[in-house]
Amino acid sequence: MIELTAAQVAAATGGRLHADPDVTVTGAVIIDSRDAAPGVLFVALPGDRVDGHDYAPAAVAAGAALVLASRELDGLPTVVVDDPQAALGELARYVLARARSGAHGGVVPQVVAVTGSVGKTTTKDLLGQLLTPEAGGEQAIIFTKGSFNNEIGLPLTVLRVTAATRYLVLEMGADRLGNIAYLTGIAPPDIGVVLAVGVAHIGHFGSVEIIAKTKSEMVSGVVDGGSVVLNADDQRVMAMASLAGPGTIVQTFGTIPSADVRAEDITIDPMGRASFTLRVARGGEAEEQRADVALQLVGAHHVSNALAAATVVLRLGVPLPDVAKRLSEATALSPHRMAVTERPDGVTVIDDAYNANPDSMKAALRTLAVVSGRTRRSVAVLGEMLELGDSARAAHDEIGRLVVRLNIKQLVVIGQGAYHIHEGAMQEGSWGSESIFVPDIAAARELLDESLEPGDVVLVKSSLGAGLTALGDHLSGAKTTEDNHK
């Protein structure tokens, strides 16, 4: 982070200073005391299981220069605020505004923000890889290798800005109206991207129309004279173009002929990786440019993510040949997102257990069908899709029926919340042992360890809260990730 004194932190957050005003934060902003190091700012967030205030003494003992808290802490240098989470956002807004003003004496960062019901993290990771050479190295670009996209994660990402930051690539998630407006208020994008409108979190939103309205907050949130990048293949996304303010440039991507940046002649190889011709309109047919792209990412749905990333970096001035080359070299960075592992015993594991909604579940199942082909046994290991509200039963039933239609050979459904996937599969066809329902992950693990055979292709897919990431780690041989504490 850009260095700040305790007095500046208090002024930025509207807090009461209980520390030497000249104490300086020279390190990162953290919410986990285990990350404490000399010079950091520790934000004491209350949590469902633990209270960050209880860990503040340990953070200071490890070198933290200052604590942002909701109450005074005896003997600790503290800025006291009413709401540490809100104050975290205010501090991020202040730091980014200061960086953009040039007051820190460094380069002025360009902010790129991505939202959408699906594809946010992959697109953000692609942007990071496409822009790193342009930035001059990893020190001049900030993008998270994960999904820090909410009211806590996004400010923490913004607060990593330094005087050397040239590009700040942000992911913006939402589960209710106003979320994106809040996040763009912290970090107004120079370029805002809307990928798709689907039914993720519809249990919170209530309708697809409200989801679309929420995603459209990205268009309204870009800086004056900025750019909006919209998915031409999604009519709800394209309707957002009318919200662009005066001077805002709208560019589109997709597979339809009217898209400014589009994919043509798409082919999928036996491993589910897409190749296509990247075609860019330059104001007229005679000025169109083309380049060939061969993605390393598994899944045909990544074509849309690649097009979105390409549109952004082309807008930032990267030549088309470089864009195509970097797209073809880009790899999956974030865990549990279509991560493919070839086990020594001949089993292929596709771990996509970080998140799930009906759209992403369908895309993952189609990829499983492609990768397994006609010669390998396909195994779909599916858990619950969360936050679907009243549509949950029908959505899970539909997934089960799709499994049958795609001729997936074995279905394993885990947990009562996902039961209707099993039910849908059983009702769609004359399935017997091809669909198995198990009550929990332990039972699934035992079943799969006993039944998987060389040559099998296994997809693991669920919402994060269903807990199948641990099963994905087990099947692929990866180390199990632990939840952070305060």
Q: What residues are designated binding site for ATP? A: 116-122
Rg (CA), the chain: 23
Instruction: Quote the CA–CA distance of 296 and 43 in Å, as a whole number.
Output: 39
**In terms of Cα–Cα distance, which of 462, 147, 170, 483 is closest to 335?**
147
- Partners of 438 in the β-ladder: 414
Q: The tokens 């589960």 sit on which residue?
A: 175
Task: Enumerate the known binding-site residues.
Answer: 116-122
Instruction: Quote the CA–CA distance of 115 and 105 in Å, as a whole number.
Output: 31
Residue 349 has a CB neighbour count (10 Å cut-off) of 26
Residues 6+ apart with CB under 8 A from 45: 31, 52, 84, 85, 88, 152, 486
HEC readout, the chain: CCCEEHHHHHHHHCCEEECCCCCEECCCEECCHHHCCCCCEEECCECCCCEHHHHHHHHHHCCCCEEEECCCCCCCCEEECCCHHHHHHHHHHHHHHHHHHCCCCCCCCEEEEEECCCCHHHHHHHHHHHHHHHHCCHHHEECCCCCCCCCCHHHHHHCCCCCCCCEEEEECCCCCCCHHHHHHHHCCCCEEEECCCCCCCHHHHCCHHHHHHHHCHHHHHCCCCCEEEEECCCHHHHHHHHHCCCCCEEEEEECCCCCCEEEEEEEECCCCEEEEEEEECCCCHHHCEEEEEEEEEECCCHHHHHHHHHHHHHHCCCCHHHHHHHHHHCCCCCCCCCEEEECCCCCEEEEECCCCCHHHHHHHHHHHHHHHCCCCCEEEEECCCCCCHHHHHHHHHHHHHHHHHCCCCEEEEECHHHHHHHHHHHHHCCCCCCEEEECCHHHHHHHHHHHCCCCCEEEEECCHHHCHHHHHHHHHCCCCCCCCCC
**What's the distance, Cα to Cα, between the start and end of the chain in Å?**
20
